[in-house]
Copies of this chain bind each other. A is one copy, B any other.
Amino acid sequence: MISLTEENYLKAIYHLSEDGSKAVLTNDLAEAMHTKAASVTDMIKKLSIKEFISHEKYYGVNITSKGKAVALSVIRKHRLWETFLVQKLSFSWDEVHEVAEQLEHIQSNRLIEKLDEYLGFPKADPHGDPIPDSNGKIKALQKVMLSTLKPGSDSLIVAVKDSDSKLLKYLDKIGARPGKKIKVIDREEYDGSMEVSINSQRFFLSKEVSENILVTA
């Protein structure tokens, strides 16, 4: 069995290692886990014995494929729950994280597969991050700037580049959230502004705004 704390460590290691591609240092992990380096060293020993990570003293840890599988399963659950909270319970986009941090540790394969189905097998969560499938395969979504789309194109909002809070508030107001469909109606050549349709409503977006909205290619 794997404890809740172990799951959280593995998730943090996975993220800090940039999906398993580089070693993670003790202090960085301590900061991410809001704990002290000594505690991290203890946990590193446990996770190494269980072969979720490999560890060379003083040189950081690397996640194993066994550890990666655990991390991806937790990430899958986290992102499915976030999608549920936003799509079904109409939570706003920025208030889901805390709750999903708890829900991601519920142990039940049946539950998560049913939830996936209920949500219509979503590919990305409300922040635009891709949802791993039940085998832990994760497809990086091809993201392009909305500004590159031609009139008539139909695609899905995947993320927002700039995290300026004024921009986020504006996009939220017009319903331009990750996961939403967006259609390009027209594009003005001289200033790069666009007319788009979201939720069957039309909006004019400046070039600046349309360069900050990332959509599926």
Contacts and interface: CB of A to CB of B under 8 A. Distances in A.
Interface of A: 85, 88-91, 95, 98-99, 102-103, 106-108, 110-111, 114-115, 118
A107 B110 CA distance: 22
Main secondary structure on chain A at its contact with chain B? helix
B103 A98 contact: no
Given A89-B118, A95-B110, 19 more contacts: A85-B111, A88-B88, A88-B118, A89-B111, A89-B114, A89-B115, A90-B114, A91-B110, A91-B114, A98-B108, A99-B106, A99-B108, A99-B110, A99-B111, A102-B106, A102-B107, A102-B108, A103-B103, A103-B106
Contacts of A115: 89
Nearest to A88: B118
